[in-house]
Amino acid sequence: MFECRLFGNVEVRVDGRPVDIGPAKQRCVLATLLVEANRTVSADQLIDRVWADRAPLRVRSSLHSLLTRLRSALAAAPMSITSRSGAYVLDVDEHAVDLHRFRHLMKRSRAEADDGRALDLAEQAMALWRGEPFAGLDTPWLAELRAALERERATSRVDYHDLALRCGKHAELLTDLSTMADEDPLDERVAGQLMIALYRAGRQADAHAHYARTRKLLAESLGADPGPALQALHRGILSGSAALASDETAPAMFSLRADIPGFVGRDDELRDLTEAVNASPTVVIRALDGMAGIGKTALAVRAAHLLAARFPDGNVFVEFHGHTPGRTRVSTGEALDSLLRATGIDPKTIPPRLDDRARLWRNRVAGKKILLVLDDVVDHDQVRTLLPGTAGSLVLITSRNRLPALDGVRSVSLDVLPAEQALHLLRESAGTDQHDDEALAEIVMCCGRLPLALALAGAQLRDHPQWNARYLANLLTEEYDRIEHLSAGDRSIAAAFTMSYRHLPAAEQHLFRLLGLHPGPSIDVFATAALSGHTFQETRRQLETLRTRHLIEETKAGRYRLHRLVRAYARALGTAGDAPHHAVEQVLIYYRHTAHTANIHLPGQNSCTAPVVVTVPHVAPYIGNEHAARTWFTAELATLVTCIDQYRTGPHRSHVADLSARLNPFLELSGYLDQALTVHLAALSAAGPADPLGQATAHTDIGIVCQLRGEPAAAAEHFGQALKLFVELGDRDGEAKALGHLRELNG
């Protein structure tokens, strides 16, 4: 048998006998490597964690000696310390390390659907604690980690109590719960558990007395009343609730997630929901939908806590795991089984048929006032039969997908946070105000004001004290690296988006990847069809699927855009073979062709004739008059300018001069002279010596813009360059136009 212990004294045991791992400094090194088991730890990290600011002069030599002695001491144990490019890795079975085994068991316990098995796993985990972590060792890093682990233990201990209460072990918990309540009298969750245990032990008066004590302490210490869940629990005790006395069900009827301390914004949504609850005599049902990371669950939980006191018969949180990595989606039947158990139904009597379960559920909650949060739902079929049938209840549904088919449900689509609230959330997540405002604003922009991204960015600043906001802003500036840096622990933007992407059909996955290649800020159905090669109807259907899944946003009828982080994610996915090059080529041909068609209807074109587009796209809009032409150019202006700027180099540069020339008439007619100059300078750069006709065209267009801007000398210079190139090319039409511009300029 092989064990590595961090709870209590740091020890390694082989076949029940302790291994002599040496003095305190060696044990500090081993503890650090065990905490980071199977992960690289740099020499600098080891030095900082073992010596902090008291490192000796030849600290690296000292570290090397400690590691050498540790390797020798651990020779008989099934573990090894290896060096990799200035860093060290302790290779060991993590299940043999009590810290990692504890976390593994608790994770399994929380994921286990059967309470009995979950309780057994939790008991195994809690039994691993033999004392305070790293007993006898004292470094700043270990002290900070020790405090964090004690907090982790306390949370797990309370989770264990929940399970034990559900399994009827209230009598066994009374002593432990009383001790915990004395240690932290303001912890409402512990107070509630003790009240339940006392009530079930026939000590209703003691349960009431403990509530009164907790309420008094909260008022004196925080100036606050107990939360809605504890108040509802107290009402149940006072009324002698039979459901509360049931070991199986009472905790589940008040199973809201903890509120989020750093919650920011959503004032309008919370106010509208409160007003709806106040005004409606019927069941109030709201479906909160939006893209991954937009804060749907956070809003639902905050609203539930604010309104919980109005629903004394139950505040229930049901997770459907529609997009949880590593979790199987919860079916309607499973959800109904859980809800029926929560109402006190004997599990043996729950009917097998879905319709019978649904009828029994509606019967059990008829006439009651309950608050039901149905989290991470995939479609309306999952939850239709869970909705209460009588007035007086509130149902909050969260989903990444729009749920238009639910009768009586009002959808609330969440957008990103306003700039001021986004900045506030970033500051709250970072845990300090000591950051540069300008850099923080850049981080907010790079995160696209998406709550999850802002929280992760703040966590990066909090977890890296050596970083400042400017450093993180610089990391996030590059689109290709942005997704990688928005992560903390097991949470990341990439993981959130991946679950949405994986739920798409194959055709929509392919289109989503192609949309990441599109250079413009928005795109319409025609350009998307050119990008994908699909028909207009098929493209529109696929875009609608992406819209309902909140992977794209419809900004106006028939026009779409991707959130900047979603775009970065889609582009990072890439596509195989020659697909990216071909897709971009086809959409550029589409823009050239459609711009040429629109130009026909614009009056008084001043630019020279652009090269003819040989390839005709398979689908394009009908543009039959000047109004339609101006409308198309206005909608596509930002995209066309971006195309010209982005493709001035690389394999698609041959399109830039043509696009620039075709855009010129609209820019001149609309008075966009500064933008026109930028566009044509990009075209001149793209043409280069290998394309003298493109150069001549760009010089002519630049000369026209300079003339309109009142810069005759610059205009004459560019017209002269154009004339020279047209003469060398033998292009008599171009030569004549350049001479005409020069004569007009000279009066």
Strand partners, 286: 396, 410
User: What is the predicted pLDDT for the residue at 578?
Assistant: 47
User: What is the predicted pLDDT for the residue at 277?
Assistant: 81
Q: What tokens were used for 460?
A: 């990066």
How are the residues of the chain apportioned to helix, strand and coil, as percentages rounded to the nearest 5?
Answer: 60, 10, 30
Note if the pTM is more than 0.75: no
Q: Is 692 helix (H, G, I), strand (E, B) or coil?
A: helix
Measure the CA–CA gap between 465 and 438, rounded to whole angstroms: 19
Q: Check pLDDT > 80 for residue 552.
A: yes
**What mean pLDDT is predicted for residues 732-739?**
88
User: What is the predicted pLDDT for the residue at 96?
Assistant: 92
pLDDT tens-place string over residues 464-473: 888 888 888 8
Q: Tell me the range of 239-253, 375-389, 575-589 where mean pLDDT is highest.
A: 375-389
pLDDT tens-place string over residues 577-599: 446 778 888 888 899 899 888 98
User: What is the predicted pLDDT for the residue at 248?
Assistant: 44
Measure the CA–CA gap between 448 and 457, rounded to whole angstroms: 12
Q: What tokens were used for 704?
A: 């026209």
**What mean pLDDT is predicted for residues 504-511?**
91
| CA-to-CA dists, residue 530 to 373, 517, 574, angstroms | 43, 13, 18
Where are the extended beta strands (E) located within 405-479? 410-413
**What mean pLDDT is predicted for residues 433-440?**
80
Q: By mean pLDDT, which of 32-36, 119-123, 412-416, 742-746 is the weakest?
A: 742-746
List the alpha helices (DSSP H) in 52-130.
59-73, 98-111, 115-126
Non-local CB neighbours of 575 within 8 Å, separated by 6+ positions: 510, 513, 514, 517, 583
Q: Check pLDDT > 70 for residue 633.
A: yes
Q: Check pLDDT > 60 for residue 331.
A: yes
User: What is the predicted pLDDT for the residue at 13?
Assistant: 92
Do residues 579 and 564 touch, judged by C-beta distance below 8 A? Answer: no
**What mean pLDDT is predicted for residues 569-574?**
83
User: What is the predicted pLDDT for the residue at 635?
Assistant: 92
Measure the CA–CA gap between 26 and 485, rounded to whole angstroms: 34
**What mean pLDDT is predicted for residues 206-213?**
92
Residue 604 vs residue 483, higher pLDDT: 483
pLDDT tens-place string over residues 517-529: 888 889 999 999 9
Reported as a pLDDT band with limits 50, 70 and 90, residue 396 is very high
Do residues 726 and 696 touch, judged by C-beta distance below 8 A? Answer: yes
Reported as a pLDDT band with limits 50, 70 and 90, residue 253 is low
User: What is the predicted pLDDT for the residue at 583?
Assistant: 85
User: What is the predicted pLDDT for the residue at 33?
Assistant: 92
Which residue's structure tokens are 């065209």?
697
Side by side, the strands of the sheet bearing 41-42 are: 41-42, 87-91, 80-84
Side by side, the strands of the sheet bearing 17-18 are: 2-5, 11-14, 17-18
pLDDT tens-place string over residues 98-145: 999 999 998 888 777 677 888 899 999 999 999 999 998 988 889 889
Measure the CA–CA gap between 50 and 40, rounded to whole angstroms: 16
Q: What tokens were used for 41?
A: 């730890």
Q: Check pLDDT > 90 for residue 544.
A: yes
Q: Check pLDDT > 60 for residue 574.
A: yes
CA atoms within 13 A on the CB side of 347: 9
User: What is the predicted pLDDT for the residue at 641?
Assistant: 86
pLDDT tens-place string over residues 667-720: 888 888 888 888 888 888 888 788 888 888 889 888 988 888 888 888 889 999
Q: By mean pLDDT, which of 52-66, 106-120, 293-307, 600-614 is the weakest?
A: 600-614
Reported as a pLDDT band with limits 50, 70 and 90, residue 340 is confident
Measure the CA–CA gap between 455 and 554, rounded to whole angstroms: 26
Q: Check pLDDT > 50 for residue 513.
A: yes
Mean residue pLDDT across the chain: 85
User: What is the predicted pLDDT for the residue at 537?
Assistant: 94
Phi and psi, residue 265, nearest 5°:
80, -160
Do residues 661 and 608 touch, judged by C-beta distance below 8 A? Answer: yes
**What mean pLDDT is predicted for residues 231-235?**
82
User: What is the predicted pLDDT for the residue at 747?
Assistant: 66
